[in-house]
Structure 1
Amino acid sequence: MSSESPLPNLPGSGISLPDTPLISGALDHLKKHTSPTVVNHCIRSAYFAILLSQKIPHKSTEPLDVELIVFATIMHDLGWATDKSLLSKDKRFEVDGANMARNYIEEAKIAVGWDKHRTQLMWDAIALHTSPSFALHKEPEVMLAHIGITADFLGPNLPGDLITIKENKEIVDAFPRLGFKSELLEIMCGLCAFKPETTYDNFVGDFGVEYGLDGKGTGKEEFAKQRLAFSMPRFVYPAIGASEQDED
């Protein structure tokens, strides 16, 4: 990796990221609040998103907002901040990350041209990055942020043969995984322990059910019971009947 830029051009894949004060500031902010492993994951996601923007057609007549895509992917996992005092107890990690990125935009003197619409689009890209059933049907920037982040998990196995082994290797060599698989397990299980009710209706809870609250199986049976109790069939659906009785 080049010593001249923290986000170097990758000639083999033909990828370059915008070198703007906002992107540099976002990268510094990410490094301040997350681990080196998470930093590299977010940077790889940005490279994948831009690579895929060159391969996936989109219907918008407007040019892609590349700075927004890169900013969103770099900041998308602020909800994994190492300082838990920065995180909410009642919101999903994706929403924490989106809120933190929005606060950064609103406070940054270098956020030029970020009107309400652009800021909302960035918020959506982060908040929906784990929800393909929403993200894939929104604006191209939101869609590409989601696919770029997903690509860092799947690499050449991303459906559609969109990423070659060579392209994947160049990005991962530039920003190594640094034990991402084991750290991801620790983070997901930690969220199940730290704010369980934010994990019951999404994939994070799957980690608690499978691996417990510490990644080693501790508390997984009780967590599974609690998660089931909050499910639609167990919690919401019966409430309709109770409401109907009250209305009679």
Structure 2
Amino acid sequence: MAIHTPKTVAGIKIPDSTIASQATELLLQHGTEFLYNHSLRSFVFASLNGVQKKVKYDPEILYVSATFHDLGLMPHYSSADKRFEVDGANAARDFLRSHGLSQQVLQLVWDAIALHTSPGIAEHKEAEVALLNYGVALDVVGRGFDQLSEKDRDDIVKQFPRTGFKNKVIPIFFEGFKHKVGTTYGSINADICAFMIPNFQRKDFCESILNSPWSE
């Protein structure tokens, strides 16, 4: 899959360092065009939010986090027993470790990816973690839609088309963890399982408490 990556979108420069370029190559090699467009839109949305809020962040770290954030859904990176977010976070950490980056950077990128589906937590962490969560949420559920100008929205979607995103994304996400639905316990991905699987029985936290081995 060969896709042209523009230099700037909606005033946001797309990182083109060696690390960023290699991350893009991995996304193109192991992902899909649909996933590529979603990941790049999420990066630009996140970056614009950072600019609007005058938040200091590292564009390269945010970009790598965005490119890897859903790669855990892809067969190449998917494990048999871990949440897809963790698979993506592990893959990004291994990739950055090979470039000799500091443990602090490895942990920051790991957190950004692992927590990108954790509203109520991610926004209270470091800038790159909070911004990625914001950018992904804007693309998937439209959070902060009105804070983005129509011109910027049009520019971003022109460069990275949505191609029926709303109607395609649920089954595409489900495809990435249908072999390990138990990993969705306690996450928003359980909603996807409930949507896709007739009579899906979620693990219930209250039942787990009441059926614990404690006698009292």
Could you tell me which runs of 5 or more consecutive residues in structure 2 were left unpaired when the two chains were aligned. Answer: none
Query: Deviation digits for residues 73-96 of structure 1, max 9, x if unmatched?
Result: 121111121xx2531121111111
Give, in whole Å, the separation in 1 of the partners of 2:14 and 2:122. Answer: 22
AA at the equivalent of 1:17: I
Give, in whole Å, the separation in 1 of the partners of 2:173 and 2:16. Answer: 32
Work out which of the two has the higher radius of gyration on C-alpha atoms and give 1 or 2.
Answer: 1
Give, in whole Å, the separation in 1 of the partners of 2:209 and 2:84. Answer: 23
Partner of residue 79, structure 2: 88
AA at the equivalent of 1:23: A
Q: Is the 8 A contact 1:55 1:162 kept in 2?
A: no
Give, in whole Å, the separation in 1 of the partners of 2:77 and 2:119. Answer: 27
Q: CA deviation at 1:192?
A: 5.2
Partner of residue 216, structure 1: none
Runs of 4+ aligned structure 1 residues displaced above 2 Å come to: 178-183, 187-193
Query: Deviation digits for residues 212-232 of structure 1, max 9, x if unmatched?
Result: 2xxxxxxx21x2x2x1xx211
Matches within 5 A, 1:38-187: 38-58=35-55, 63-81=56-74, 84=75, 86-107=77-98, 111=99, 114-155=101-142, 158=144, 161-187=146-172
Query: Deviation digits for residues 111-139 of structure 1, max 9, x if unmatched?
Result: 36x20001100000000001021101101
Counting aligned pairs with the same residue, the percent is 35
Partner of residue 215, structure 1: none
Q: Does 1:233 align with 2:192?
A: no
Q: Which has the higher contact order (CA 8 A, sep 6+)?
A: 2
Matches within 5 A, 1:24-35: 24-35=21-32
Give, in whole Å, the separation in 1 of the partners of 2:37 and 2:173. Answer: 17
Q: Is the 8 A contact 1:23 1:71 kept in 2?
A: yes
Distance change in 2, residues 1:154/1:195 (3 Å): closer
Q: TM-score, normalised by structure 1?
A: 0.79
Distance change in 2, residues 1:191/1:14 (3 Å): closer
Give, in whole Å, the separation in 2 of the partners of 1:20 and 1:86. Answer: 23
Bigger mean CA offset, 191-200 vs 34-43: 191-200
Q: Is the 8 A contact 1:125 1:142 kept in 2?
A: yes
AA at the equivalent of 2:163: L
Give, in whole Å, the separation in 1 of the partners of 2:64 and 2:6. Answer: 12
Cα RMSD of the aligned pairs, angstroms, is 2.0
SS in 2 for 1:146: helix
Bigger mean CA offset, 85-94 vs 143-152: 85-94
